[in-house]
A = this chain, B = another copy of it.
Amino acid sequence: MQRSIDPHTRSARDIADELAVELGKSAAERDAAGGTPKRERDLLRASGLLSLVIPKELGGWGASWLDTYDVVRRIARVDGSLGHVFGFQHLLLATLQLFGSEAQWRPWFEATAREQLFWGNALNPLDRRTLVRWSETQAGRGRIDGDKSFCSGALDSDMLIVSAIDPATDKLLVAALPTSRSGIALRHDWDNMGQRQTDSGSARFEAVALARSEVLATPGPLSTPFAALRPCIAQLSLSNVYLGIAYGALDAARVYTSEQSRPWIASGVEHPSDDPFVLRHYGELWVELEAARLLTDEAARALDRAYARGPELTAEERAQAAVAIAVAKAKTTRVSLETTSRVFEVMGARATTARARVDRFWRNVRTHTLHDPVDYKLRDIGAYVLAGRAPTPSFYS
């Protein structure tokens, strides 16, 4: 699908905001429905924003990570699921650049910008069932077989980032494949309490052809400090989704308190906006949201600095970015859970009607914040602060 919007005439932010209005209209309804938001994914394609981080000279917007995440947050604010797959679009593009050679990522970047290809995830380092076997007769030819869970955004994608274990070396390979390749079956089996339209279900690979040239092996997964920025980008994408959802919950609360809530009978005030306890709740929620916002943006700036260093990035420089991102992750986790639960206290009992689906904000962050345990983020931060120990690069840290 061709991009229908010219980035030179409108800002990404404006396009995102317009898109958000559209996505927001059906978000509650689609939360109930689950499944693949095909129409909305096509709106994302049509927006041209799928090439946000791709350099201008390759046809993209050349957005910084700070600006890219800002758009992620704007989308997550109205729709957590789309915020996630949109954020991971850019993670998957970065994966090409971080794990692969320029000869690999350059044409993919150009094609993505040109055709607004939507990338899906089939990389799951914790699921070791998908195996690659190299042909003994055909040099550079192999096949992928096996199942894989948590393949967010794979359904309706154009391209996939796929991981598989090579039993010969016990190593994880990562490759870029067209979603349409024969043998790839994506199941419609994601049915979770939250983030219901991320299609984070399972995939089955059966004799899927793989060429050596499709493997991102130079430098390969996490093999250099720069390559090890991949989990940083993933973690910060999650953080922005959490934060966006939290803002979405506060938006809903503000409208509700202003327009629908009644003053509590014992309050002695005419309107809930004069209730000292209601105001204090809003104050507390806002202080923490502002804190989360600033930490998340600060982390994005650290990431931009690190990314700009390219292959020269040192382990210590990577650690600084990783710790800033862990801080953002820990804070957005806590704040989004707190906000999405507490907003009900400033709305009142009638806000629990199923029709409004205000609980989706909490269900979304509660589901999504379990991606990896925040305790280990706090431990890593502590080790860095106390003893200067850098987090060990992994797909989660």
Interface, chain A (partner B; CB < 8 A): 34, 126, 150, 191-194, 196, 254, 257-258, 264-267, 273, 276-287, 290-292, 294-295, 298, 327, 330-331, 337, 341, 344-346, 348-349, 351-355, 357-359, 362-363, 366-367, 370-383, 385-387, 392, 394, 396-397
Contact = CB atoms under 8 A, between A and B. Distances in A.
A339 to B, nearest CB: 12
B383 A279 contact: yes
Contacts of A375: 277, 280, 345
B283 A291 contact: no
Contact of A276 (B34, B277, B385): B277
> Main secondary structure on chain A at its contact with chain B?
helix
A383 B284 CA distance: 11
A355 B387 CA distance: 26
Contacts of A349: 150, 367, 370-371
A276 B374 CA distance: 13
Nearest to A359: B193
B373 A254 contact: no
A215 to B, nearest CB: 23
A342 to B, nearest CB: 9
A377 B278 CA distance: 13
Contact of A266 (B277, B358, B394): B394
A279 B396 contact: no
Contacts of A287: 295, 327, 330-331, 378, 381
B280 A379 contact: yes
A395 to B, nearest CB: 9
A362 to B, nearest CB: 7
A193 B357 contact: yes
A359 B194 contact: yes
B337 A341 contact: yes
Nearest to A346: B386
A96 B354 CA distance: 33
Contact of A279 (B191, B196, B371, B378): B378
Given A267-B376, A279-B378, A378-B280, A254 B348 contact: no
A375 B291 CA distance: 18
Given A126-B265, A193-B352, A277-B376, 17 more contacts: A254-B385, A254-B386, A264-B376, A266-B376, A279-B378, A282-B381, A283-B377, A285-B385, A287-B381, A294-B298, A341-B341, A341-B362, A345-B374, A348-B373, A351-B370, A352-B370, A359-B363
